Amino acid sequence: MQGKSPLALLDRTMPAPARMEDCEPQTSAAPSPRTVLGEAAATIAAFLLIAFALQVLALWIAA
């Protein structure tokens, strides 16, 4: 251990980087339309829920 820097020890224990030959090629990088519509619906629902909560908060403060 004497004479070795801690960084050299870390470099030795890190796994080897993955090679591109080992990766499976993806058939399509684009998500399916059903996934896109589902995420859009969830985003819109969250936005409407937050807007409704802010309106309720404003009415509660004004009362």
Q: pTM for this one?
A: 0.51
DSSP sequence for 3-45? T--HHHHHHHHSPPPPPGGGSPPPS-SSPPHHHHHHHHHHHHH
Model pLDDT for residues 5-60, shown as the tens digit of each residue:
666 665 666 666 667 666 666 666 889 999 999 999 999 999 999 999 999 999 99
Tokens of 4: 């070795």
Structure tokens at 17: 């980087």
Instruction: Return the domain boundaries, the chain.
Output: 32-63
The owner of tokens 């004479």 is 3
Q: What pLDDT is attached to residue 29? A: 82
* Residue carrying structure tokens 């070795």: 4
Confidence grade of residue 63 (pLDDT, cut at 50, 70, 90): confident
